[in-house]
Each structure stands twice: as C-alpha cells, then as structure tokens.
Amino acid sequence: VQLQASGGGLVQAGGSLRLSCVASGHTLDDYAVVWFRQAPGKEREGVACISRSGVTTYYADSVKGRFTISRDNAKNTVYLQMNDLKREDSAVYYCHADRDDAIAAMSHHLGTFGALEARGQGTLVTVSS
C-alpha cells in the first residue's frame, strides 16, 4: 500500500486543520494507521493511532482532547482533525501503517516507525502565534 498525507499548511494558534492520509494500491481497512510528527531539533513523536477496525484509538498526551483520528474506509482515508492548534504542534506530519494492530500501537507509543510496513510522505503544519 502507498500512503499520501495532505492537508498541512499555515494556521494561526487556536485554529484547526484536518490532515488526510490516502491509501492507494491496497484497501486501507486492512491496516492500522499511525500519525507521527517531527519538528526540527525534536524527537519524532507518535501523535495518534487507530486500529484496523477503528474501534481503538491512542493519542499522545500532548494532543489529547484537541486531536481526533478517524477513518473512512469507503474513501480509503484516515483523518487527523487538529483543533486548538498551538505553536508546539508545528512539525512535519507523517502517516504510516501496518496490518498488525499491536505493532502499530507499539510504534505509536515508542515514536518509531521502523517496524511499520507502509510509510507515507509528510505534510508540513506551521502554527503561528
């Protein structure tokens, strides 16, 4: 499966953006999906994760209550709705995926994507004050 993230841009603090992760080459409903982000000089962080069924989600503490991950399997897309954005949310956001829910969840927790079988390009989010 090939993944393409989009939806990034420049937004003022307090604003919202919705990122999309679109799959091609394979149906995305076979995959758990993880959103990561990395800002210059900072460690990569697992932002949010959604299981293949969509029933289970995980969030980094830094985004809980502000970000929502969801999936629309009919559109082969996973979304990351980001509300009340802060300057510290500025980063390149990546979506990666794996057919194993446990591997995806662990990768999210550890902030590493080496074990994930599908990796997408990033999209840049810049939050201005």
Region 8-15: what's the mean pLDDT? Answer: 98
Region 4-24: what's the mean pLDDT? Answer: 97
**Alpha carbons 50 and 101: distance in angstroms, whole number:** 8
The DSSP output letter for 123 is: E
Alpha helices in 2-129 (DSSP H): 101-110
Angle, vertex CA 1, rays to CA 105 and CA 55, nearest 5: 35
Region 95-107: what's the mean pLDDT? Answer: 95
What's the whole-number average pLDDT of the chain? 96
Region 29-37: what's the mean pLDDT? Answer: 96
| Residue 28: pLDDT band with limits 50, 70, 90 | very high
Region 18-28: what's the mean pLDDT? Answer: 94
pLDDT in tens, 35-61: 999 999 999 999 999 999 999 999 999
Q: Residue 19's pLDDT is what?
A: 98
From residue 45, how far is each of 16, 28, 72, 101, 103 by CA, in Å?
20, 22, 24, 18, 16
**Alpha carbons 85 and 8: distance in angstroms, whole number:** 12
Higher pLDDT: 15 or 1? It is 15
| Residue 102: pLDDT band with limits 50, 70, 90 | very high
Q: Residue 68's pLDDT is what?
A: 98
pLDDT in tens, 67-92: 999 999 999 999 999 999 999 999 99
**Alpha carbons 80 and 114: distance in angstroms, whole number:** 21
